[in-house]
């Protein structure tokens, strides 16, 4: 799962959301520099990633992408799933996507000082370009994959995964609609077990 899903799966606690978000940007040893609730968000991120990577539906979808995108298929699927989440948003929460993303940006901006430098450098652009809302659009998905391409040292064409998705949209979307409620339920259980309601 990518940023939008990780935020939604974090429940209502802002510090859990922060920890879940920064987990992709800091080494594991650095997470000890944060307070306990942010650290729990980091742990939640690892739980979500592990659950996702080992889910049979996710493995099936990764296989669908593998012929064209090889080792990048799992990472691409994470971004595709944010696109599908944005397009099926009302199935999973009553808060409109536009309002939700605005609240997330507020949390990030209020806590900018504790964010890793990599995130702080991108935060203004993330908010002004409204990256989280862009996941809803086909071209927004392409844009997110193109940003990832720029960070890879050798030539690759991740954005062609958009074509693979839309050629098989019903299949990917139906699989997502089976998988995400399972992930959402298991994440809620994790939060309750760890003292977050």
CA distance 63 to 135: 22
Query: Across the chain, what does the average pLDDT equal?
Result: 93
Place of tokens 């099936």: 60
Which two structure tokens, joined as six digits, stand for 45?
């991120």
CA-wise closest residue to 125 among 134, 136, 137: 134
Low-confidence ranges of the chain (pLDDT < 70): 153-155
CA distance 76 to 57: 15
**Whole-angstrom Cα Rg for the chain:** 16
**Residue spans per domain, the chain:** 3-193
CA distance 102 to 5: 15
Q: Please, what is the end-to-end C-alpha distance for the chain in angstroms?
A: 22
Q: Which backbone phi and psi does 131 adopt, to 5 degrees?
A: -55, -40
Contact at 8 Å (CB) between 183 and 81?
Answer: no
Note the helical H segments in the chain.
Answer: 3-8, 14-22, 36-53, 56-69, 73-87, 97-110, 117-128, 131-134, 138-150, 161-167, 169-193
CA distance 73 to 69: 5
pTM of the model: 0.94
User: Would you give the DSSP letter of residue 31?
Assistant: G
CA-wise closest residue to 34 among 119, 120, 113, 123: 113
The 10 Å Cβ neighbour count of residue 195 is 8
Amino acid 18: pLDDT: 96
User: 3-class DSSP state for residue 102?
Assistant: helix
């Amino acid at each position: 799962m990518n940023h939008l899903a990780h935020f939604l799966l974090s429940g209502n606690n802002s510090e859990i959301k922060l920890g879940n978000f920064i987990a992709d940007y800091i080494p594991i040893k650095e997470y000890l520099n944060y307070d306990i609730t942010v650290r729990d968000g980091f742990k939640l991120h690892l739980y979500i990633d592990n659950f996702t990577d080992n889910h049979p539906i996710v493995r099936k979808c990764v296989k669908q992408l593998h012929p064209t995108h090889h080792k990048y298929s799992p990472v691409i699927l994470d971004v595709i799933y944010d696109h599908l989440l944005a397009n099926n948003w009302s199935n999973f929460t009553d808060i409109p996507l536009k309002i939700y993303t605005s609240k997330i940006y507020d949390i990030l901006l209020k806590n900018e000082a504790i964010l890793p430098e990599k995130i702080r450098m991108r935060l203004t652009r993330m908010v002004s370009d409204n990256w989280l809302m862009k996941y809803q659009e086909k071209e927004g998905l392409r844009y997110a994959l193109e940003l990832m391409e720029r960070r890879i040292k050798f030539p690759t064409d991740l954005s062609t995964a958009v074509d693979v998705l839309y050629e098989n949209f019903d299949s990917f979307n139906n699989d997502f609609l089976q998988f995400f409620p399972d992930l959402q339920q298991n994440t809620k259980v994790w939060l309750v077990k760890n003292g977050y309601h």
